[in-house]
């Protein structure tokens, strides 16, 4: 069984994307044998008011029978936008199982009080908070995209940028998605990172050499994620499937294919 913990439906302003609808995503899931996917609205990242994007996703979800069994909706919430608490309540009532936040795009930092409050509410409501390190490689970004560009003084974000949030709400469950620019954190944060309730997806460039990563962190910390439709569907799968028996046993592979995601979603989502 395979579960994708990092997929989207909707539009990305800077590029035409294939399979950017729920129907497109499901056809891709069928093609590659994926049973379930955690899905959020890509449009919500750029909407000032993210709630219409969550409603669009919900509408798509209800548009065909069978979607609700396979699609696990996550809401895009902007804690810097007035009324986000109401949006969150509405999403919880509609059955959303987690929240995705985008501080880089919504112009706040994770340690802002609104953001930590959001994560606390999510923890209390049994929702997972998903943190996305980056959406696109900044070297290919549009000139209108956010100014977080590798090699400049602003720079792309890394896991370090989210650590103040993990420190503030250490017992909340997190997905950390599309990890680029390494898994490194400050030495003082390392024990917290290892102990925290975090699941990393396999879509990020920093997981390019999984055997090394698995020597640092146990297989229980990882789950298949595609970052579809921005990234291709199979790279995240191949990072698991290509592991040799001496690098990861069948049990570990099964945990990364779906076991860890199921455990997380059952306990928290």
Partner 1 sequence: MGKINRRTFCGVTLGAGVLANVSKLNAAPAASVAGSPDAGSPDAPHIIDTNVSLGQWPFRHLKYEGPKALGDKLRKHRIRQAWAGSFEGLFHKNLDAVNAALTADCKSYGGNFFQPFGTVNLAWHDWQEDLRRCHEVYKMKGIRIFPSYQTFDLTHEDFPKLVNETAKRGLILQIVGDMEDSRNHHPIVLARDFSYAPLIPLLKQNPGAKVQLLYWNHRVSAKLMDDFIDNTKVLFDTARIESAGGIDALLDGNKNQKTRVFSFGGMERTLSEIPWGRSSRPVPAERLAFGSHAPFFPVEANLLKLFESDLTLEQSKAIMESNAGKLVTT
By the criterion CB under 8 A, which residues form the site for partner 1?
11, 13-16, 43, 46-49, 52-53, 56, 105, 107, 142-146
Helix 51-61 to helix 84-94 angle, to the nearest 10 degrees?
Answer: 10
Residues in the chain: 269
Measured distance CA(266)–CA(268) in Å, rounded: 6
Q: Which of 127, 132, 86 is nearest to 106 (CA)?
A: 132
In terms of CB distance, is 49 or 216 closer to partner 1? 49
Give CA–CA dist 121/211, Å, rounded: 36
Give the nearest distance from C-beta 197 to partner 1 in angstroms.
31
Q: What percent of the residues of the chain are helix, what percent strand, and what percent coil, each to the nearest 5?
A: 45, 15, 40
Do the beta carbons of residue 54 and residue 92 sit within 8 Å?
Answer: no
For residue 20, give the 3-state DSSP assignment.
coil
Smallest gap from Cβ 157 to partner 1, in A, equals: 14
Question: C-beta of 231: minimal distance to partner 1 in Å?
Answer: 18
- From the CB of 85, what's the least distance to partner 1, in Å? 20
Q: Of 144 and 188, which CB lies nearer to partner 1 in the complex structure?
A: 144
| Cβ closest to partner 1, residue 51 vs residue 228 | 51
Q: How far is the CB of 186 from partner 1 (least distance, A)?
A: 28
Give the shortest CB-39-to-partner 1 separation in angstroms. 18
Alpha helices in the chain (DSSP H): 22-32, 51-61, 67-70, 84-94, 103-106, 113-125, 159-168, 190-195, 210-216, 235-241, 250-254, 260-267
For partner 1, the closer of residues 29 and 230 by Cβ is: 230
Comparison of 8 and 224: residue with beta carbon closer to partner 1: 8
């Amino acid at each position: 069984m395979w579960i994708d913990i990092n997929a989207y439906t909707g539009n990305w302003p800077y590029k035409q994307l294939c399979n950017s609808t729920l129907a497109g995503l499901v056809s891709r899931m069928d093609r590659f044998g994926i049973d379930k996917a955690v899905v959020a609205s890509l449009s919500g990242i750029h909407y000032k008011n993210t709630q219409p994007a969550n409603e669009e996703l919900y509408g798509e979800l209800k548009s065909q029978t069978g979607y609700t069994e396979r699609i696990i909706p996550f809401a895009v919430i902007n804690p810097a936008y007035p009324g986000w608490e109401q949006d969150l309540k509405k999403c919880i009532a509609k059955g959303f199982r987690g929240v995705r936040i985008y501080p880089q795009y919504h112009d706040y930092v994770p340690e802002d009080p609104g953001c930590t409050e959001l994560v606390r509410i999510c923890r209390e409501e049994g929702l997972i908070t998903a943190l996305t390190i980056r959406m696109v490689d900044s070297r290919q970004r549009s000139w209108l995209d956010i100014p977080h560009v590798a090699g400049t003084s602003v720079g792309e974000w890394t896991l370090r940028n989210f650590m103040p949030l993990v420190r503030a709400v250490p017992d909340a469950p997190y997905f950390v998605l599309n990890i680029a620019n390494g898994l490194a954190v400050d030495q003082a944060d390392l024990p917290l990172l290892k102990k925290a309730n975090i699941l990393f997806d396999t879509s990020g460039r920093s997981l390019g050499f999984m055997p090394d990563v698995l020597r640092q962190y146990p297989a229980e910390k990882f789950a298949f994620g595609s970052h579809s439709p921005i990234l291709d569907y199979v790279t995240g799968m191949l990072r698991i499937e290509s592991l040799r028996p001496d690098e990861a046993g069948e049990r570990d592979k099964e945990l990364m294919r779906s076991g860890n995601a199921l455990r997380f979603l059952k306990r928290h989502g």
